[in-house]
A and B are shown apart, each in its own frame.
Chain A
């Protein structure tokens, strides 16, 4: 069981990175990125393509994947989401649902429905760390994910652009008044959020077998984490990622693998029902 705990914690690094991306997008522009998991799957497929066509290991290519997904996020925000900032929330939900549908099914058409995994030399190496043995791949993934989250934190809290983004998140009108190009800030924020899952996808591609429908379960996991941690809270997303990953891997120890999804969805319902009203109130997302 300790094995399960360690495994879970290590995988949590990726979950954290994923959740941080989602919460950033929500925190800045109150948009729920329904396509989050599907974007991550694209990160995975991109890593796959780079590995098989260009022989680049995902642990080297993750920054490229992040950059590519940044571009995707930026374009989605600028071209699509931006046009409906003032529309009722249902429209936003439907828009992102549409994006999710497109992403998932283009992947289906391009790569087929079979599960894939990326081959990486690190994937088969293991280490003994005290009483448990640890996948080197998972360990590296965890370390890189934490490093990226820290870098993101530094970006948001120590750079001018980062501060501008946080300011726009806190108070859009205020930011407008002081002359911020809010639209650009939004696009950057969305791009950064997407970049997070681009990197997360690449990092996890040697560990987790994936197929286009995986997008949905990843989205659900992200929502789980972000709702627990508090929509818009970076720290909450980070800690939540570790917790949820832990809970899932403990769940996997005790339950049949096919029931893992059942567990995730049930967890989501429970969280939806008991989410502390104070963190977020009755406001519609």
Chain B
């Protein structure tokens, strides 16, 4: 299995040589959403704390780096880290309020949605941040400003982000941190009785997750050259973030990646064929149907099912 992964990564590294520019863009999106999904996976999958407001961290990260770049000329490479830290701060606040006050399940989901929406409305109303129309980044092609003439650089950055998030999740998964998160997800009270400080580990997961997601915000802003509060903080983005890991397999290492490889091309195709003029909601319908389908038929996600099928095929038992 490890060799398959290594081969896969090598293949991805070599791919840009043969891809058309459209395919390149597709892969950038696959990696980017895979990255965001993996970041979410740490708190939503491994820790089992369903957050439906992760777009807030993308927004905070993106806006921070952009404003620092516009106002202070600070390079987005540093702005990205600062954005991540601010996103982590927001994550800590949401986590603290949620976990200290015992908000679980549905209540926690509501809390995260509420925060994301507050950010969205607040930013839309602050003219200094561009108001409802948002901010635009002038094209300079200067690498120091996180801008590249060659699309392939974005490809490698997005791939690197996805690998970093995945390595982080992998490191967490095999240590006490990850094992404790799994225990919390299965039964928090039983975990507490075994010495697990649930509050501390949920907070850690939240902070790590929101930091990584915040980094993604900078990429998003500087890849698309614009930010709008409705896009960057909105529920549709939160849905995009969570649907890939959920379909692929929440709480597994490869789930978010697999989910992105499955869903991103599908979303792009539906956007191409149905997205003309106001029908941009169509792919969200597909997402809704998929969510329902996964919950009813594949609750663990595609990856665990796949892994079991493959194991049976090769005659091994786990």
Is chain B in direct contact with chain A in the complex (CB below 8 A)? yes
Q: Is the CB of A269 within 8 A of B97?
A: yes
Residue among B109, B281, B289, B291 having the largest count of chain A Cβ atoms under 10 Å: B281
Closest chain-A Cβ to B188's Cβ sits at a distance in Å of 9
Indicate if B103 sits at the interface (CB-CB under 8 A).
Answer: yes
Q: Which residues of B contact A256 (CB under 8 A)?
A: 125
Indicate if B169 sits at the interface (CB-CB under 8 A).
Answer: no
Q: Is the CB of A95 within 8 A of B287?
A: no
Indicate if A155 sits at the interface (CB-CB under 8 A).
Answer: no
Q: Is the CB of A91 within 8 A of B107?
A: no
Q: Which residues of A contact B114 (CB under 8 A)?
A: 220, 265-266, 268-269, 272
The answer to whether A109 and B235 touch (CB under 8 A), given A98-B295, A269-B111, is no
Out of B239, B279, B295, name the residue touching A91 (CB < 8 Å).
B295
Closest chain-A Cβ to B97's Cβ sits at a distance in Å of 6
Q: Is the CB of A98 within 8 A of B111?
A: no
Closest chain-B Cβ to A105's Cβ sits at a distance in Å of 4
Q: Is the CB of A265 within 8 A of B118?
A: yes
Chain A, Cβ-Cβ closest to B116 = A265
Closest chain-B Cβ to A44's Cβ sits at a distance in Å of 17
Out of A97, A106, A284, name the residue touching B285 (CB < 8 Å).
A106
Q: How large is the interface on B (under 10, 10 to 19, 20 to 34, 35 or more residues)?
A: 35 or more
Q: Is the CB of A272 within 8 A of B103?
A: yes
Q: Which residues of B contact A91 (CB under 8 A)?
A: 295, 299
Q: Is the CB of B117 within 8 A of A93?
A: no
Give the distance in Å from the alpha carbon of A216 to the alpha carbon of B113 in the complex: 10
Give the distance in Å from the alpha carbon of A112 to the alpha carbon of B114 in the complex: 25
Indicate if B52 sits at the interface (CB-CB under 8 A).
Answer: yes
Indicate if B66 sits at the interface (CB-CB under 8 A).
Answer: no
Q: Mark B88-132, 1 if CB is under 8 A from A, else 0.
A: 000000000100011111110111011101100110110000000
Indicate if B50 sits at the interface (CB-CB under 8 A).
Answer: yes
Q: Mark A227-262, 1 if CB is under 8 A from B, else 0.
A: 000000000000000000000000000001011011
Indicate if B203 sits at the interface (CB-CB under 8 A).
Answer: no
Mostly, the A contact residues are helix
Indicate if A282 sits at the interface (CB-CB under 8 A).
Answer: yes
Per the 8 Å Cβ criterion, residues 155-177 of B in contact with A are: none
Q: Is the CB of B284 within 8 A of A105?
A: yes
Indicate if B214 sits at the interface (CB-CB under 8 A).
Answer: no
Indicate if A223 sits at the interface (CB-CB under 8 A).
Answer: yes
Out of A101, A103, A109, A285, name the residue touching B291 (CB < 8 Å).
A101
Which of A80-88, A167-175, A182-190 forms part of the interface with chain B? A80-88
Q: Is the CB of B292 within 8 A of A99?
A: yes
Out of A83, A98, A265, A273, name the residue touching B288 (CB < 8 Å).
A98
Q: Mark B274-304, 1 if CB is under 8 A from A, else 0.
A: 0000110110110111111011100100000
The answer to whether A109 and B48 touch (CB under 8 A), given A87-B299, A93-B109, A268-B110, is no
Out of B101, B281, B282, name the residue touching A272 (CB < 8 Å).
B101
Out of B110, B117, B291, B296, name the residue touching A261 (CB < 8 Å).
B117
Mostly, the B contact residues are helix
Out of B50, B101, B288, name the residue touching A90 (CB < 8 Å).
B50
The answer to whether A98 and B118 touch (CB under 8 A), given A89-B105, A216-B235, is no
Q: Which residues of B contact A101 (CB under 8 A)?
A: 239, 284-285, 287-288, 291
Indicate if A100 sits at the interface (CB-CB under 8 A).
Answer: yes
Give the distance in Å from the alpha carbon of A95 to the alpha carbon of B285 in the complex: 13
Give the distance in Å from the alpha carbon of A84 to the alpha carbon of B239 in the complex: 21
Give the distance in Å from the alpha carbon of A91 to the alpha carbon of B117 in the complex: 23
Indicate if A32 sits at the interface (CB-CB under 8 A).
Answer: yes
Closest chain-A Cβ to B52's Cβ sits at a distance in Å of 7
Q: Is the CB of A272 within 8 A of B117?
A: no
Q: Which residues of B contact A93 (CB under 8 A)?
A: 50, 105-106, 109
Q: Which residues of B contact A83 (CB under 8 A)?
A: 296
Q: Is the CB of A84 within 8 A of B110?
A: no
Seen from chain B, the residues whose Cβ lies within 8 Å of a Cβ on chain A are 48, 50, 52, 97, 101-107, 109-111, 113-115, 117-118, 121-122, 124-125, 235, 239, 246, 278-279, 281-282, 284-285, 287-292, 294-296, 299
* Interface pairs (19), CB distance under 8 Å: A84-B296, A89-B106, A93-B105, A95-B292, A98-B295, A103-B288, A105-B282, A106-B281, A109-B285, A220-B117, A223-B110, A261-B117, A265-B117, A265-B118, A265-B121, A266-B118, A269-B115, A277-B102, A284-B105
Closest 10 CB pairs of A and B: A101-B288, A98-B291, A108-B281, A102-B288, A105-B281, A285-B106, A98-B292, A284-B105, A105-B284, A284-B104
